[in-house]
Amino acid sequence: MNKIDQKIVVTGGCGFIGSNIVKKLVSIGYSVKVIDDLSAGKVEYIEEPMKDREKCIFVKGSITDSEFLKREFEGYDAILHEAANPDVRTSKDNIFKDFEINVLGTLNVLQAMTSNKITKIVFASSGGTVYGETKVIPTPEDHRLDPISHYGASKASCEQYMASYASLYEIDAITLRLGNIFGPPSNHGVMRDFFMKLKKNPNTLEILGNGKQIKSYLYIDDCVDAHIRALQTQLSGHTAFNIATSEGITVNEIADSVVSVMGLDNVEYSYTGGERGWAGDVKKAVSDTSKAERELQWKPKTSIKDGIRKYISWLEKESQG
């Protein structure tokens, strides 16, 4: 079967990352079914690909419903699993919701795959949370997983089930440990937070923690490209790849870039204090992406600062209606 002839299910396909993946898949010729419960996503995000009803259909439903997934996966060739409860900050107080959606939901996806003899899945994990605090920077994929947040623990659990299902059912399971993904139409994250604060008051900016936290970020177009390459790469068993930029950026540097793009001067920074922005926040998370460059032939094309310019320009247009 030609790869483009494959029929793909995208869970969480109305979300920020999922909707961008759906648009790309349809644009290059794939047939796509989008599954989303719309708890965070919006159908408007996939209006363009849905104009071609033969190439893109939307079904409202939750990955927590195992029988629903078994029905909807019938006749499909591969799964891009993006659906999750994505909020690291709230996972501390909502551990069972995190577990139900992220872990049980992923088990339901894997069970529905085996019921329908689907042997390919690309899973969106988290490079910023599954490793926890590590002294090895940039961090390679063979570093032990030692999360410090419930969200990170849920993603690490999902990866272990990816490995066991890959072994037991001969599934080609690729895990993408994503950095901090940003860009349109994201409605959360540090860049949007800074933009909204500065629109309200262009003279001061409150920064969570001490501003010295350093992370790997990645513009959405490069994230989508990694998913497509993973989908089109045939491997055996379970394989994890870091998908991010291999150089980190501090929160203070992000603030400087946002301020610069917005054309502001003399903005006074204030800090909430402490080394972390919130409970479970990893102070330093930078990914080694050499394995993805080698095995997926993938490399980010957009620098963080160029990505920030694109994203802030989009936010400016959105804020003007």
Query: Could you tell me the CA-to-CA distances from 300 to 63, 64, 81, 268, 297 in Å, in that order?
Result: 30, 33, 21, 33, 10
SS3 state of residue 235 = coil
**Residues 218, 223, 225: CA angle, nearest 5 degrees:** 135
Query: Could you tell me the CA-to-CA distances from 274 to 42, 267, 271, 281, 291 in Å, in that order?
Result: 35, 21, 9, 11, 34
How many helices and strands (H and E) does the chain possess? 11, 14
Which of 151, 217, 219, 311 is catalytic? The answer is: 151
Active site residue 30: no
Number of C-beta neighbours around residue 51 at 10 A: 10
How many whole angstroms separate alpha carbon 185 and alpha carbon 182? Answer: 9
| Exposure string for 23-34, b = 16+ CB within 10 A, e = fewer | bbbbeeebbbbb
Question: Strand 268-271 and strand 238-243: pairing?
Answer: unpaired
How many whole angstroms separate alpha carbon 36 and alpha carbon 29? Answer: 21
How many whole angstroms separate alpha carbon 108 and alpha carbon 37? Answer: 15
Q: Of 122, 98, 116, which Cα lies nearest the Cα of 11?
A: 122
Q: Which DSSP string corresponds to 38-54?
A: -SS--GGGGTTGGGSTT
Question: Strand 180-182 and strand 78-81: pairing?
Answer: unpaired
Q: Which residues are catalytic?
A: 151
